[in-house]
Amino acid sequence: MRKGKVGSRSGKKLLLEISLTIFFQKLQLLDGQMLVNQRYLTVFVGGNRAIVVDEPGVTRDRLYGRSFWGEHEFMVVDTGGVVTVSKSQANVMEDLAISTTIGMDGISLASREAAVARMPSMIEKQASAAVEESSVIIFLVDGQAGLTAADVEIADWLRRNYSNKCIILAVNKCESPRKGIMQASEFWSLGLSPLPISALSGTGTGELLDFVCSGLGKIECPENLNEEETYIPAIAIVGRPNVGKSSILNALVGEDRTIVSPISGTTRDAIDTEFVGPDGQKFVLIDTAGIRRRATVASSGSVTEALSVNRAFRGIRRSDVVALVIEAMACITEQDYKIAERIEKEGKGCLIVVNKWDTIPNKNQQTATYYEQDVREKLRTLQWAPIVYSTAIAGQGVEKIIVAASTVEKERSRRLGTSILNQVVQGSFGF
Ligand SMILES: Nc1nc2c(ncn2[C@@H]2O[C@H](COP(=O)(O)OP(=O)(O)OP(=O)(O)O)[C@@H](O)[C@H]2O)c(=O)[nH]1
């Protein structure tokens, strides 16, 4: 669904095939150049999509942003910066992962270390998936640092595996047009035509976008779709860290759309994915970062986490329905209650997902009833929200989440006649 099927913008007849990947090479990330690179993404999609922190390894999942250039519409994919991982680089990445994760996941040190060690390859898998599904690849190199061994390695890898795709070599940080030509000339040896650009000043980015558009295929799109036809309800998946939000998303879409790990704080950006439900209805699923207590986030001093939580709140605001995920064994915590309050305050539709249902021992027919009583008792603000039980790692119960979300969304958008509204307001129904 996601690939090649962007929604339409009224008045546009042609859409260009989506997917243009900008992937950052690892050395650039480790040099702390991500800030500039991310600005480059911002130049493309506008606004403030990706978390931008001058700290390596922040982006982990694939991040999609819709972009326009002239009459053309396409999707830009931002990825983590791992494409080629040598042993020494992998070690650095492990250290980074250790130093930047939240660390309240309750797993043993050995499991944690093993999970951290797997992180670079998982980020790399996400980056490769983005390259795989893209029509155009922008290979971004650093014009100020000059040609590096990693550039050569990546160019070889791209030529070997993706010669059928349009690959554009963009030499970033060429602020001065005259000097830029000199800076770029060094990269001819990669066997691709280097294009000097500056994400900072915007120099050359127009030309780059012209190249991008010429490399994209055309998709016919029906003209003048009305608002109702283009409206796609959004479901935000929110909850405390490590409750299984990403696992639910992956189980629903049937692929590793986001990285799942026992380390809490794995998801950082809010990840949007279009999804078609069993009855053909489309949804946008928004996977969000785990939300810890405000005081805990503040005392951790992590800017990345603070921004992640901010994105999660924005995810709630952008959504129509929120799936509040709680962990079965932990039952309702104070933080779950706080998140529930937030959802209620935002006026969103909601369902409660009790995930990791498999971890409850000796279940019988009464278990869900007892559980429900407890949830109702402790989450009074969401009395009206349906409850769904799931075991995301086995894909059990996840389809019920969509069914419940769809019902909530329909109820939420139901139009009431004036007379019913008057009756409600006047308290005829006992409200
Ligand atoms: N037993 C069990 N484990 C699960 C289930 N769902 C997820 N997990 C495990 O819980 C851990 C966290 O899963 P994630 O999907 O990454 O959790 P998350 O809520 O997205 O985590 P953050 O990104 O940290 O907020 C992983 O080790 C998963 O394998 C489930 O239904 N049952």
Selection from 241, 246, 190, 255 nearest residue 392 by Cα:
246
Among 242, 263, 304, 305, which residue has the most ligand 1 atoms within 8 Å of its CB, making it the best to mutate?
A: 242
Map out the domains of the chain with their CATH numbers.
Answer: 14-220 (3.40.50.300), 232-412 (3.40.50.300)
pLDDT band at 222 (very low <50, low <70, confident <90, very high): low
Dihedral over alpha carbons 401, 398, 233, 422 (to 10 degrees) = 0
**Which residues, in sequence order, are bridge partners of residue 351?**
323
Question: Mean pLDDT, to the nearest integer, of 151-168?
Answer: 83
Which atom in ligand 1 lies closest to the alpha carbon of residue 247? 15
> Residue 284 has which token pair?
């946008």
Greatest Cα pair distance in the chain: 79
Length of the chain (residues): 431
Under 8 Å CB-to-CB from 422, ≥6 apart: which residues? none
Which atom in ligand 1 lies closest to the alpha carbon of residue 267? 23
The Å distance, Cα 371 to ligand 1 centre, comes to 20
In whole angstroms, what is the distance from residue 375 CA to residue 42 CA?
A: 42
Which atom in ligand 1 lies closest to the alpha carbon of residue 241? 25
Q: Can you tell me the ipTM of this complex?
A: 0.98
pLDDT digits (tens, 9 = 90+) for 328-352: 998 889 999 999 999 999 999 999 9
pLDDT digits (tens, 9 = 90+) for 237-267: 999 998 999 999 999 988 887 777 777 666 6
Question: Mean pLDDT, to the nearest integer, of 359-373?
Answer: 89
In whole angstroms, what is the distance from residue 125 CA to residue 16 CA?
A: 26
**Contact predicate 40/22, CB 8 Å:** yes
The Å distance, Cα 247 to ligand 1 centre, comes to 6
**Contact predicate 429/337, CB 8 Å:** no
Which one-letter DSSP state was computed for residue 394?
A: G
Dihedral over alpha carbons 101, 103, 109, 115 (to 10 degrees) = -40
The Å distance, Cα 248 to ligand 1 centre, comes to 8
Which atom in ligand 1 lies closest to the alpha carbon of residue 396? 31
pLDDT digits (tens, 9 = 90+) for 99-148: 344 444 556 667 666 666 666 667 767 777 777 777 788 888 888 888 98
